[in-house]
Structure 1
Amino acid sequence: MDGTTEPTNPDWEPFGRPLFADPDIRALSRVGVVDIGSNSVRLVVFDGAARSPAYFYNEKIMCALGKGLGETGKLNPEGRARALKAIHRFQLLARGMGTELSAVATAAVRSAEDGADFCAEVKRETGLDIYVIDGEEEARLSAQGVLLGWPGSYGLVCDIGGSSMELAEISGGQVGRRVTSDLGPLKLIDIKGGKKGREAVIKETMKKLEAVMGSQRDRLFLVGGSWRAIARIDMERRNYPLHVLHEYRMDASAVRDTAKFIAQHDLEELRQRVGISDARMSLVPYAAEVLRRLVQTFRPKDIAISSYGIREGMLFEQMPQKLRDRDPLIEACRHAEAKDARLPGYGKRLFQFVEPLFAGARPAKLRLVKAACLLHDVSWRAHPDYRAETVFDNATRANLGGLKHEERVFLGLALLHRYRNKREGTRFEAMASILSDAEIQDAEVLGKALRFGAMLWMSEKTRGAWFEWRPRKRQLTLRLSEEAAPLYGEVAEARFQSLVKSLGAEAEVKVVTSAD
């Protein structure tokens, strides 16, 4: 389809107007959550009302509250003391930030004989109330955390903690059936009979879970530190170039191969290679046994690692529905533009300017184009010699929800070309295998269009410049109003010609007079 008309898109359809300035949503600008798990105690303070909020503060203490719980029925005394000390610190930090905390405790505290006593001690020492949730509620919140990152997604969410493992189904943005089990690594350690004993328990438990959850052949979302550790080891085994765990994809074959990889290597040597803590690494072999049986039982079409879980689910719980329904990537980019761009709002006009070059593109591609337009100028404070590297690193490594790994690299490459014509000698070269040649070409075109469009800053009320693109004829026309024509100087012309070359097109520039 030829893009021969000046695009008009005042409300950013199909994305809608920005929401983070709404007073009701600004109330979510800083939310603090304490997650008291069987293995770790973590404080997360979310900042920013965008649909994909920033992690203002994030601290984790490995306490192993659930260690030995199966034998003693009580919380690990050393872990209990460490957890109390950590929570006291977190409460003081939150007060310093002006943030109220919400605290949840999961399997270890809810099943321990002294769980209620521990909660009372925390209340007495810190003033913090702990909400002890049951297994089904834990599953629901974890699933909501996944929905924060994947709006409208469907599949099976599996959250593994130290003392339990939960399953929840999601479909159309809603949480369905939920179930909990004792398949946490800290519980498996105490099972008699060694590996054979564990395998028998895991197999029998998995049958019961399947009976409750029914047939599940969609995507499997993995939530929890042990799953992320296994994914990190899978990256090491594959020599995968992008070390971002969120949205990392695996399949059944990868799970089998990585389980063997773990079994064949010295755990300490492997731990040092991938940067996993001692406490976490000690649980990985047990979690790998569970994951193999989980995949064999439910046979998902693919597997996605989620860095979002209970804490994000608690934030999702507080979001109004109109915010839940928004695209997390676009809202995060809007927030970044409003906060850091030199000319907030220009991203919308830039999107209208470059959109004809992607006429007929699918919505998934257009949202990346939109994101790139919003982010095109947020790194202007970086030194000019390093801006290209900075924007690439930000896009590929930043906490942005709703992005597949190939989409991260596409976005990073487009922004790299916003500041640099050539990509040779940059960090992109190590990640080139993640994108197809066609995707690399599209990212280059988008970046060079941004690079040129950034030179045409004008008032929103001024009719400035627009493209007419005929892809079949490979013909690009740049139309300039009389007011905008002086903006087309030597540097702008050079950038335009660079874009033309990347398109493999013939080009002409026409000034539109008032008589036209």
Structure 2
Amino acid sequence: MSNKSAIIDIGSNTIRLVIYEHYKKGRYKEIENVKAVARLRTFLDGDMKLAAEGIDKLMNILKGFMEVLDFHEIPNVRCVATATIRQAENKEEVLTIIKKETGMDIEILSEEQEAYYGFLAVISTTPADTALTIDIGGGSTEITYFENRKLIHSHSYPFGVVSLKQRFIQGDSITEEERSTLTDFLLSEFSRLPWLKNRRVPIIGVGGSARNIAQIDQQQKDYELSGVHQYVLSGTAISSILEQLFPLSYKEIEKVEGLSKDRADIILPAAEVFNQLFSYTDACYFMISRKGLRDGLVIEMANEESGVEMSRDSVIRRSLEELCHEFDINDLHSKQMKFLASTLTGSLSDLGYLDLTHEDFKMLQYSAALYYLGEYIDSDSSSQHTFYILANRPVNGFFHKERVMLACISSFKNKTALKQYMLPFLGWFTKEEMQKAREMGALLKLAYSLNATKRNIVQSIDIERNADRLDISVYCKGDFLAEQYQTEKQKRHLEKAIKTDLDINFSRID
């Protein structure tokens, strides 16, 4: 039985085939993502019928996708269509032709379904508990509002970046008059939703236009991290990008760093939508989600039996499980690291050597589960690989600053290496936060030494204050020679971090 499935998303601007590998109940990994720019919205004629040229273009793309599906031997394919096919007066004819030529059954998503799947993806992959979402496609725009990860309101507007361009922009750039008309139209449309005005919550942007705005912002800031998922922009940043693009022609916009060339002629209406919505709702910030409609669909499929837990902690936990699977981290070792970290932290906190908040402790536990995952690539340089992987790979549920902190603690080697890793991000952290990263990293390095052979032999730890030092008694089930050697070798990092000598004694209890 195949462990792969696929989603084909027939949008108004782009059509995508995404293939997923399911490696555990409710868990999946994207392994292929094939994109074709179709601009189907431009093939709707005056009678709102999809012209023969548009049908042929759709057919050719789907036939190409079929070859990819045949290669991967995927029996489970869900093919969905959104605004353009939904709005087409001849949609039944289109579906019949596609079925005859390709054998594919196309499911037309309702406006409510399209909004819901985007919402589901956002709450399953971002840290947002209460927010607005906006997914602006080629022919429709979905907006939702959720509180405590529960959907409260949703609406689908029958316009998107392609249709806005067709309606409001006539030349190869936008004029002042056209922009004013577009702005008036957007504000009028927003006013139809009484739950939007001055909502004062974050906005989560979904889709290619939001990603491109983030990429432009990152290029202009020489941003140190890769990826736009969970990247945060201010309203000022969005309006600044819009003002930079506004005077340019499409040819000039094509050259803007960070922007996909195929979006040069539609990025302006998209940016204006984001800009006006940010102002109208008095938003806190604008966050990007790389996960949208397709991810919502596969999340529903992957969890149709077990259901999806929606808390932020569960989002992070699932993401960490994916990392552990991807980098072959032994589950029992990961649990032992969390046990050792928790035991050491509890005792040192009680004795006044650590002052960690509840959120700090959770970060320590996350880092313990992933400590030195870079060993998967090379054991001799596991610290460097660990930091690079975690700093540059999206981790669902974490803001980018939190992701850097996770990378620093999980990769801790020594104070010098920590400073080197944090150097590009010095403006992100206070001195107190950097000291906590050092303390937690040094503690995990000691915990890692206590499980040097990955046999989970340490059963319990007692710590007592003795004058100007700490006496640590470690009780093991089995031979502890390797653990004792590594602990004595590495304990100096924690000693320096908490400014106290450690006297560590091992005992066998079996």
| Class of the TM-score when normalised by the shorter of the 2 chains | 0.7 to 0.9
SS at match of 1:253: helix
Moved more, 420-429 or 389-398: 420-429
Residue 36 in structure 1 maps to residue 3 in structure 2: no
Q: 2:103 aligns with which of 108, 117, 127?
A: 127
Residues 52 and 401, structure 1, Cα contact 8 Å, conserved in 2: no
Moved more, 457-466 or 159-168: 457-466
Superposed CA offset, 1:156-202 (max 9, x none):
11111011111111123322221111341111112256223222222
**Alignment partner, residue 382 of structure 2:** 387
Instruction: Mark the runs of 5 or more structure 1 residues left unpaired by the alignment.
Output: 1-26
Instruction: Mark the runs of 5 or more structure 2 residues left unpaired by the alignment.
Output: 169-176, 350-354
SS at match of 2:8: strand
Q: 1:60 aligns with which of 23, 32, 35?
A: 35
Name the CA distance, whole Å, in 2 between partners of 1:467 and 1:183.
65
**Alignment partner, residue 105 of structure 1:** 81
Letter in 1 for 2:188: E
**Alignment partner, residue 277 of structure 2:** 294
SS at match of 1:341: coil
Equivalent pairs counted in the alignment come to: 485
Moved more, 232-241 or 177-186: 232-241
Residue 194 in structure 1 maps to residue 188 in structure 2: no
Name the CA distance, whole Å, in 2 between partners of 1:118 and 1:141.
24
Letter in 2 for 1:201: F
Superposed CA offset, 1:283-340 (max 9, x none):
1111111112111211122221111111111123231455434613222323443564
Moved more, 393-402 or 305-314: 393-402
Q: 1:435 aligns with which of 425, 429, 432?
A: 429
SS at match of 1:103: strand
Moved more, 164-173 or 459-468: 459-468
Name the CA distance, whole Å, in 2 between partners of 1:474 and 1:55.
53
Letter in 2 for 1:107: A
**Alignment partner, residue 344 of structure 1:** 331
**Alignment partner, residue 444 of structure 2:** 450
**Alignment partner, residue 341 of structure 2:** 354
Residues 133 and 145, structure 2, Cα contact 8 Å, conserved in 1: yes
**Alignment partner, residue 267 of structure 2:** 284
Residues 450 and 486, structure 2, Cα contact 8 Å, conserved in 1: no
Letter in 2 for 1:349: Q
TM-score (norm 1): 0.83
Shift of 1:266: 6.6
SS at match of 2:283: coil
Residues 177 and 213, structure 1, Cα contact 8 Å, conserved in 2: no
Q: Considering Cα pairs closer than 8 Å and 6+ residues apart, tell me whether 1 or 2 has the greater RCO.
A: 1
Residues 8 and 79, structure 2, Cα contact 8 Å, conserved in 1: yes
Judged with a 3 Å threshold, the aligned counterparts in structure 2 of structure 1 residues 212 and 187 are, in CA distance, closer, same or farther, namely farther
**Alignment partner, residue 23 of structure 1:** none
Residue 136 in structure 1 maps to residue 136 in structure 2: no
Superposed CA offset, 1:456-505 (max 9, x none):
336767445636488xx996543223656523555432311122212333
Task: Trace 1:194-233 onto structure 2 (pairs within 5 A).
Answer: 194-208=178-192, 210-211=193-194, 216-233=199-216
Task: Trace 1:486-505 onto structure 2 (pairs within 5 A).
Answer: 486-505=481-500
**Alignment partner, residue 20 of structure 1:** none
**Alignment partner, residue 242 of structure 2:** 259
TM-score (norm 2): 0.84
Shift of 1:88: 2.3
Residue 117 in structure 1 maps to residue 111 in structure 2: no
Residues 134 and 142, structure 2, Cα contact 8 Å, conserved in 1: yes
Q: 1:403 aligns with which of 398, 403, 410?
A: 398
Letter in 1 for 2:99: K
Moved more, 356-365 or 221-230: 356-365
Superposed CA offset, 1:355-384 (max 9, x none):
233757444433332332222254323234
Q: 2:319 aligns with which of 329, 332, 338?
A: 332
Task: Trace 1:89-104 onto structure 2 (pairs within 5 A).
Answer: 89-99=64-74, 100-104=76-80
Letter in 2 for 1:451: K
Shift of 1:142: 0.8
Judged with a 3 Å threshold, the aligned counterparts in structure 2 of structure 1 residues 174 and 300 are, in CA distance, closer, same or farther, namely same
Letter in 1 for 2:309: R
Name the CA distance, whole Å, in 1 between partners of 2:435 and 2:479.
29
Residue 248 in structure 1 maps to residue 268 in structure 2: no
Shift of 1:64: 1.0
Residues 337 and 345, structure 1, Cα contact 8 Å, conserved in 2: no
Residues 375 and 381, structure 2, Cα contact 8 Å, conserved in 1: no
Moved more, 239-248 or 373-382: 373-382
Judged with a 3 Å threshold, the aligned counterparts in structure 2 of structure 1 residues 273 and 385 are, in CA distance, closer, same or farther, namely farther
Name the CA distance, whole Å, in 1 between partners of 2:228 and 2:87.
31
Letter in 2 for 1:357: T
Residues 197 and 280, structure 2, Cα contact 8 Å, conserved in 1: no
Moved more, 169-178 or 150-159: 150-159
Q: 2:287 aligns with which of 300, 304, 309?
A: 304
Judged with a 3 Å threshold, the aligned counterparts in structure 2 of structure 1 residues 71 and 425 are, in CA distance, closer, same or farther, namely farther
Judged with a 3 Å threshold, the aligned counterparts in structure 2 of structure 1 residues 62 and 514 are, in CA distance, closer, same or farther, namely closer
SS at match of 2:474: strand
SS at match of 2:146: strand
Name the CA distance, whole Å, in 2 between partners of 1:51 and 1:371.
21
**Alignment partner, residue 154 of structure 2:** 178
**Alignment partner, residue 19 of structure 2:** 45
